[in-house]
Amino acid sequence: MKKSEFIAQDLLSKIYQHSGSLPEKLPPERQLAEEYGVSRFTVRKALEKLVSIGAVRIVQGSGIYINPGVGSNPLVYNSITEKKFAEISFKMLELHKRRPDKEEQQVFDLSADDFIWAFTRLRRISQRNVQIEYSRMPAREFSDLNQKTIEHSIQQYVLSKGYAISHSLTRYQAVTVSKEQAHILGCKKGIAAMHITNRGILQGGKVYAFSDIIDIDYSCTYVIPFNQDNLAFRQT
């Protein structure tokens, strides 16, 4: 683990350790550098990550402030969501309309006579290929889906249509990259990757997008409350 990543996670851990009486600010950058035995540049990189995930804000000349509520709420961030939109770009590889298969009918609550959009896009972070995303969306609700939309934010597009996004259901599985995927991503066949299956769900329960993602540079951090009931259930 990089020093800056360790410092970011350690500071986040300390913020949650003090959730009952949360301090208003973190120590100054110079003091943190001394405590961790690293350069101020390394500390700055760690703080940039905490800013990007909404844990702290930096006020020039005043200090590093912990955002209200951060110590009492669950937090999940990954190698995509911690990046600013300016660092992320998409390239559409394929888009077509077709009938849904049996699984897609179940996911979107459609009949065999309905249509879905199926598209593939390449996600790049800081000009580096990191993900192939295979997605499906119901055509009836999103009739004007096009290349411009696919190469920008799908969530912003959905919100612009007047829908309210509720949550997502996500599954992770370790896989290796196929020959076809390696060709698209520009990497070696057989390297380790993460297969991410995701359903984007609207308020009311309807699924607006169903995606399979192959990511060759994936990391994820969770801060979640301890669940005593779940532990007891698993021990029975």
Domain chopping of the chain, boundaries: 3-72, 85-218
Q: What is the pLDDT of residue 190?
A: 96
Taking the CA of residue 232 as centre, how many other CA atoms within 13 Å lie in the half-sphere pointing to its CB? 3
Mean pLDDT of the chain: 89
Specify whether the CB–CB gap between 221 and 194 falls below 8 A: no
| CATH architecture classification, 3-72 | Orthogonal Bundle (1.10)
Residue range 126-183, pLDDT digits in tens:
889 999 999 999 999 999 999 999 999 999 999 999 999 999 999 999 999 999 999 9
Residue range 147-163, pLDDT digits in tens:
999 999 999 999 999 99
pLDDT for 111 beyond 60: yes
Specify whether the CB–CB gap between 139 and 117 falls below 8 A: yes
Residue range 26-48, pLDDT digits in tens:
999 999 999 999 999 999 999 98
| Kind plus residue range of the DSSP H or E element containing 108 | helix 102-108
The DSSP code for 100 is -
Q: What is the pLDDT of residue 71?
A: 66
Specify whether the CB–CB gap between 73 and 32 falls below 8 A: no
Whole-model pTM over 0.85 = no
> What number does CATH give the domain 85-218?
3.40.1410.10
* Count of Cβ atoms closer than 10 Å to residue 125 Cβ: 16
